[in-house]
Amino acid sequence: MTARPGPTTRTRIRELSGATARDRRDDLATEEPLEIRLTSPDGARRTVAITMRTPGHDFELAAGFLHGEGLAGPKEIAAIAYCTDEDLPPEARYNTVTVRLHGPIPDLPALDRHFLTSSACGVCGSASLDALRDRCVPIPKGLLELTPGLLYGLPDTLRQAQGVFGKTGGLHAAGLFSATGMLVALREDVGRHNAVDKLVGWAGLTERLPLAEHVLMVSGRASYEIMQKALAAGIAVVCAVSAPSSLAVELAREFGMTLVGFLRGERCNVYAGQERILG
């Protein structure tokens, strides 16, 4: 029986400290590929993505990815399971997820691209903001009003809840917070975009979308793909420990999102949607 990979992998290392060396065990963040396949009632099958990820919450990752790319929403998914196709070697079974749709596989331009990504770069899924305008609407105003003090507390809460990061020091995190600053859900992954997909997938599979009255906090930078996924989930406020990219700021401003960067200690920069921050 093939063992299911976990979020951490044990290894042996040599630790150097000054003139002293010692051998010991260490925990690494596991990084393995995940192939996402779509199937339809007529028997059609298609691979739509291969992403490097940390094993765990794989079904949420698949559902979140499909939702963020506009390929399939939660209501269009009939079932998600690890693949047992005969063409798949046993060692790849837990690295391949099949998403069975209620209807046909969508014939979208996005499917003509090669969705092969590392844990670092992410999958954009839309060539430009023009593509987003066709399937996303601006975030309504007035749903959230946040104090600076609430924002300042988010990074510590996120960090304290990162169980796997505490063991490995090598994972990104995405946390979903309520309007009062309560942590609702958290997901970790070697890829920051995967962590967001897992979070959005969780929300979709538990019928919580859209997330208009929630705040997304990410442990890294705010990139275009992070903002795209947040917009597709209806998230009004995105906060990041590090800097945003220029396209992330442009997306936030056009679609009425609040984007906060460099959120560390009691300081931050608000790049868009300042009206949701009181004071």
> Active-site positions?
121
Max Cα distance, the chain (Å): 66
Q: What are the two backbone dihedrals, phi and then psi, of residue 160, each rounded to the nearest 5 degrees?
A: -65, -25
If residue 132 lies in a helix (H) or strand (E), which one and from where to where?
Answer: helix 129-133
Is 101 annotated to bind a ligand? Reply is: no
Please give the single-letter amino acid code of residue 129: L
> From residue 5, how far is each of 8, 31, 93, 95, 159 by CA, in Å?
8, 10, 10, 9, 24
Token pair 């390929």 in the structure block, residue: 71
**Alpha-carbon gap, residue 155 to 159, rounded angstroms:** 6
Do 176 and 186 contact (CB within 8 A), yes or no?
Answer: yes
Q: What is the CB neighbour count within 10 angstroms for residue 130?
A: 8
Token pair 């442009």 in the structure block, residue: 250
Is 255 annotated to bind a ligand? Reply is: no
The token pair that represents 119 in the structure block: 């844990």
Is 37 annotated to bind a ligand? Reply is: no
Do 148 and 277 contact (CB within 8 A), yes or no?
Answer: yes
Is 262 annotated to bind a ligand? Reply is: yes
- Among residues 21, 22, 69, 24, the alpha carbon closest in space to that of 48 is found at 69
Q: What is the CB neighbour count within 10 angstroms for residue 52?
A: 18
Q: What are the two backbone dihedrals, phi and then psi, of residue 148, each rounded to the nearest 5 degrees?
A: -55, -40
- Binding-site residue ranges: 262-267
